Structure 1
Amino acid sequence: MSRTRTALLAALALVAGASGTALAVAPADVGIAAIPCTVDYKVQNQWDTGFTTAVTITNNSAAKSSWALKWSYAGNQKVSSFWNSKISQSGTTVTATNETYNGTLATGGSVSFGFNGTYSGTNALPTTFTLDGVTCNVDDGGSGPTDPPDPGGGTKVDNPYAGAKVYVNPEWSAKAAAETGGSRISNQPTGVWLDRIAAINGVNGGMGLRAHLDAALAQKGSGEEVIQLVIYDLPGRDCAALASNGELGPTEIDKYKTQFIDPIAAILADSKYSSLRIVTTIEIDSLPNLVTNTGSRPTATAACDTMLANGNYVKGVGYALNKLGAIPNVYNYIDAGHHGWIGWDDNFAASATIMKQAATAEGATVDDVHGFIANTANYSALKENNFTINESVAGKSVRESKWVDWNRYVDELSFAQAFRNQLVSTGFNSGIGMLIDTSRNGWGGSARPSGPGAMTDVDTYVNGGRYDRRIHVGNWCNQSGAGLGERPKASPAAGIDAYVWMKPPGESDGSSSAIPNDEGKGFDRMCDPTYTGNPRNGNSMSGALPNAPLSGHWFSAQFQQLMQNAYPAL
């Protein structure tokens, strides 16, 4: 049975019949234009105690600069969270009003928002809606839990980036353009980070998910358009660091499912967005931690041991893959760390195995995985041209150098191509593609070596020739000397779907000192330039820039450095 209803409630004449019963009939000359507004109320997901709803308002009257939609429930439904509108509830009466960015509603124009709710007993649909006090028609879209939404989009293409433009986030673009020299890159596509529940709706008046999708449609025109989303709010997020901790505790897997993934899935499944190619980066800083930072390893943390034991990283990633992968125009890419994290023999195959475990958890299958992404928000060089692991200097293998430290990979391109093969051998589909985040791995500028180092000894040789100028390959926070890398491009190398700027250049990795905040973000000493290190970075200096703000906040000094050291140069 459909979870939408039709009730023609405007432009009707009430005529009393002979029996005294009031009948609602429409005048013969009343057309659709006479209906001042239409509301499409769809319950897109429903379970024993809750539901997710998407609402679209179409305005057929005079243009509006603000709007308020009201309805009442017949049962005990309660709105628990919402996005792309501000919702209040008094008893059974609910009022949804516009956000600052979507108040304009032209004649014939539409606006959409969504919410999660709770109920017990039955979840009867509201039958009457008023827009600014005027009763609207209620559209029957024929979609609901018993006849699931069909967002369209057809069969997935092999590489979503091929032949497509990629979404330029107007909020990031404006910040970049405001910087001296920033207009040189302000038109580049970057990822949209959904790093907390509030981001779905928009934080501090900023754009929410629907606003970004609407902007992507506007940019799309008649061609193909990719929009890149980072899905990043697992319970106990990033158990090996503090700057990137999240809002959900280690056990809050149900909240992750119902208040984070379900609302995102409901929005992405809206047929309005079926013409977009939606690329998701699924939960960075998670699954590789279960391999490298648990058990008896010197890099282990109690927090990572907890996440391995409770299984909530695996469950969360599986749930996200399942829900988002069911949408025909969504392309899921799982975070695959980077070569300086899982390139070692002990980590390589084990990481692929844990990723397969997640991809077959919570109803997900390998068919829900379109590919993997390497180097997200990291600094590992794309290609080191001045040394390989097959060389020896003064009787020692390059693998024995302090920098390489027995890793089998020295750069992201060779790692991503090899890890793709490992993933296929572990059971993933042979057609999977890789993405590489090149937003901050260019390492240009005056410090970039022009050739190999001196062959005095293996360390001199490697250190003299490596493009990656970090103190240690484990350093990850606001790295001094970094530069913009290869510009985003499709199909740049075998097995690689695209080079992307998933991490928006200029957004901080974490604060240099403790900053109180309501974003769930802690202070990690790896972001402190005076920190002397830990086992995860070989007890080396952090290499971090000073005076950095909270992760995700704009860091002008970093942005300027990235442009200065860009390779290829700007």
Structure 2
Amino acid sequence: MSRTIPRTALLAALGLVTVAGTTATVFDTTAGAATAGCKVEYRITNQWNTGFGANVVVTNTGDPVAAWTLEWTYANGQQVTQGWNATLAQSGAAVTAKSMSYNGRLATGGSTSFGFNGSHNGTNAIPATFKLNGVTCNGATDPSQPPTTPPTSPPTAPPTTPPPSGSQADNPYAGAKVYVNPEWSAKAAAEPAGSRVADQPTGVWLDRIAAITGSAGSMGLRDHLDAALTQKGGGELVVQLVIYNLPGRDCAALASNGELGPTEIDKYKTQYIDPIAAILADPKYAGLRIVTTVEIDSLPNLVTNVSGRPTATANCDVMKANGNYIKGVGYALNKLGSIANVYNYVDAGHHGWLGWDDNLGPSAEILKQAATAEGSTPSKVHGFIVNTANYSALKEDNFKIGDSVNGTSVRQSKWIDWNRYTDELSYAQGMRTKLVSVGFDAGIGMLIDTSRNGWGGAARPAGPGAPTSVDAYVDGGRYDRRIHLGNWCNQAGAGLGERPQAAPAAGIDAYVWIKPPGESDGASREIPNDEGKGFDRMCDPTYTGNARNGNSMSGALPDAPLSGQWFSAQFQELMKNAHPAL
């Protein structure tokens, strides 16, 4: 069971602005006989000491282009330090910004934007000339006095045309791009070789009330949705939000406890869910497909970590008795599911947590109970997500649950330990069948978080283990190289998994990266903080374990920061062991 609260910060928030500038109809020398024209707005969004943040909006007024490169030259020694929504490079005073995989196509009249942070030496003039695909755009917008503090509410983007009333896609990911979080993208791009994955879509975690509005150093929900409108262009785009702030959150862990106490259900409703719902219901966002992944690592605790179970905790007993997990999830599903373009996916654990007979069925019943609480109905659940922020392998190819060695079933191996499933794909499909059987719609789809379950690199087995014993057979062939299936914190040897993609297997709506790779699961030592996060020994590499992980070593990486903070060593480990390889 993983526990994570991603929070990243940039020095400047990304703001969307109304496009302005001088139009130039020119010949595009990089596109054959295509006619090119462009408008550019370069806006300084905030400025401090020797640093600044900027946002650039590019509008194509000529023939459609499949990719773009914008060039300009600084006159005052400014330097770009980090960016998002474009690949930026600088040589001397010359800067180039190249489109990403998701925003290269610009129809006639189409716009896109990117942002960056930079440094200056006291003078920070706006560049005088821009070139799009080698052709001058005939100037930028007139310089204006930059703000000295970040804007408190960025200008809004033009509203989009809403879809027909009540219409939803069967699979929101089909035929759609997925939002790339510019805050995570900038962190990834700043890592050595991180640009290889910096354009991948990841989830936006709303892990406390303050995350809704954001701050001077981080984007709020409206900031992300406005940025998503720019990334959307003329097609469909999915925005992935993590709803993660239940009262008494993560009752079986310490690394990711939350801000709300066990009894603060009213505060959860009125100060957290209601403001999120109000923003998502804004008509300007009606053209976005908004996927909400609802309350990671919550409801199954009411089955596996309560009295009568060997892994029981007093905190989980409290949450089962007061019913606030059930009430909170039901309320969230009802409020968010009432918005036509919102697709609710409820967290359904992972195979290393719920894959046993006495866990899977009761957990499905608990999920059904929450889906019918606080005015909600199962129709407000579009599907479920598994393996969120965990490490369980997507598919184990070297052995099957029905295999046996010398008459001993694979299920009897120490690794499988009588589990019904060997991997996340088989578990997701099996859990889907169980959920339909307890009353959810037969059309529900599943999401699988593949952000950290690739298990590639030199340690990846090429075939089954030796058939000398069932343990040798399984341990020698399994891709998942964790010491124990119950280990969940900053795992050594883990790698990036399958890249996000729609409809990859039967019953699966998408492989997704909901957990942003490189963000810590928890600190490897006690670190005082004001976020309510405790120290969980499962994040300590010297810890010798407990009943939940068979009293095994934790397998955690050393020197980890608080959950949600950037962990460079983990990011490098994930890239090194990626499967498919980068």
TM-score, normalised with respect to structure 2:
0.74
Partners of 1:204 and 1:356 in 2: CA distance: 40
| CA deviation profile, 1:327-384 (whole Å, cap 9, x unmatched) | 0000000000000000000001100000000000000000110000000000000000
Partners of 1:546 and 1:383 in 2: CA distance: 28
- Give the structure 2 partner of residue 347 of structure 1: 359
Whether 1:264 aligns to 2:276 is yes
Whether 1:277 aligns to 2:327 is no
For 1:437, the aligned partner's letter is: D
Unpaired runs of at least 5, structure 1 = 1-56, 68-96, 113-149
What is the Cα-based RMSD across aligned positions, in Å?
A: 2.4
Indicate conservation of the 8 Å contact 2:333/2:376, yes or no.
yes
Partners of 1:196 and 1:111 in 2: CA distance: 28
Which of 1 and 2 has higher RCO (CA within 8 Å, sep 6+)?
2
- Shift, 1:173, TM fit: 0.3
- Shift, 1:456, TM fit: 1.1
| CA deviation profile, 1:289-320 (whole Å, cap 9, x unmatched) | 11110111110000011101100000000000
Percent pairwise identity: 76
Partners of 2:438 and 2:311 in 1: CA distance: 26
Partners of 1:388 and 1:532 in 2: CA distance: 30
Indicate conservation of the 8 Å contact 2:364/2:434, yes or no.
yes
Whether 1:569 aligns to 2:575 is no
Whether 1:235 aligns to 2:285 is no
Equivalent positions of 1:120-519 (< 5 A) are: 154-203=166-215, 205-519=217-531
TM-score, normalised with respect to structure 1:
0.75
Indicate conservation of the 8 Å contact 1:438/1:486, yes or no.
yes
For 1:189, the aligned partner's letter is: P
Indicate conservation of the 8 Å contact 1:151/1:269, yes or no.
no
**Aligned CA distance change for structure 1 residues 444 and 358 (closer, same or farther; 3 Å):** same
**Aligned CA distance change for structure 1 residues 180 and 340 (closer, same or farther; 3 Å):** same
Indicate conservation of the 8 Å contact 1:294/1:301, yes or no.
yes
Equivalent positions of 1:545-556 (< 5 A) are: 545-556=557-568
**Greater C-alpha radius of gyration:** 1
SS in 1 for 2:300: helix
For 1:223, the aligned partner's letter is: G
Partners of 1:257 and 1:111 in 2: CA distance: 30
Partners of 1:548 and 1:271 in 2: CA distance: 42
| CA deviation profile, 1:363-414 (whole Å, cap 9, x unmatched) | 0000110000000000000000111121111231111110000000010000
Indicate conservation of the 8 Å contact 2:411/2:417, yes or no.
yes
Partners of 1:446 and 1:153 in 2: CA distance: 52
SS in 2 for 1:287: coil
SS in 1 for 2:346: strand
Unpaired runs of at least 5, structure 2 = 1-15, 19-40, 47-146
Partners of 2:414 and 2:272 in 1: CA distance: 42
**Aligned CA distance change for structure 1 residues 400 and 203 (closer, same or farther; 3 Å):** farther
| CA deviation profile, 1:10-53 (whole Å, cap 9, x unmatched) | xxxxxxxxxxxxxxxxxxxxxxxxxxxxxxxxxxxxxxxxxxxx
For 2:299, the aligned partner's letter is: L
Partners of 1:452 and 1:210 in 2: CA distance: 49
- Shift, 1:563, TM fit: 0.2
Indicate conservation of the 8 Å contact 2:163/2:287, yes or no.
no
Partners of 2:262 and 2:157 in 1: CA distance: 39
For 2:537, the aligned partner's letter is: R
| CA deviation profile, 1:188-219 (whole Å, cap 9, x unmatched) | 00000000001001145210000000000000
- Give the structure 2 partner of residue 530 of structure 1: 542
Indicate conservation of the 8 Å contact 1:151/1:270, yes or no.
no
- Shift, 1:152, TM fit: 6.7
- Give the structure 2 partner of residue 100 of structure 1: 150
For 2:239, the aligned partner's letter is: I
Indicate conservation of the 8 Å contact 1:65/1:103, yes or no.
no
**Aligned CA distance change for structure 1 residues 366 and 457 (closer, same or farther; 3 Å):** same
Partners of 2:274 and 2:252 in 1: CA distance: 27
Partners of 2:484 and 2:417 in 1: CA distance: 10
Indicate conservation of the 8 Å contact 1:480/1:545, yes or no.
yes
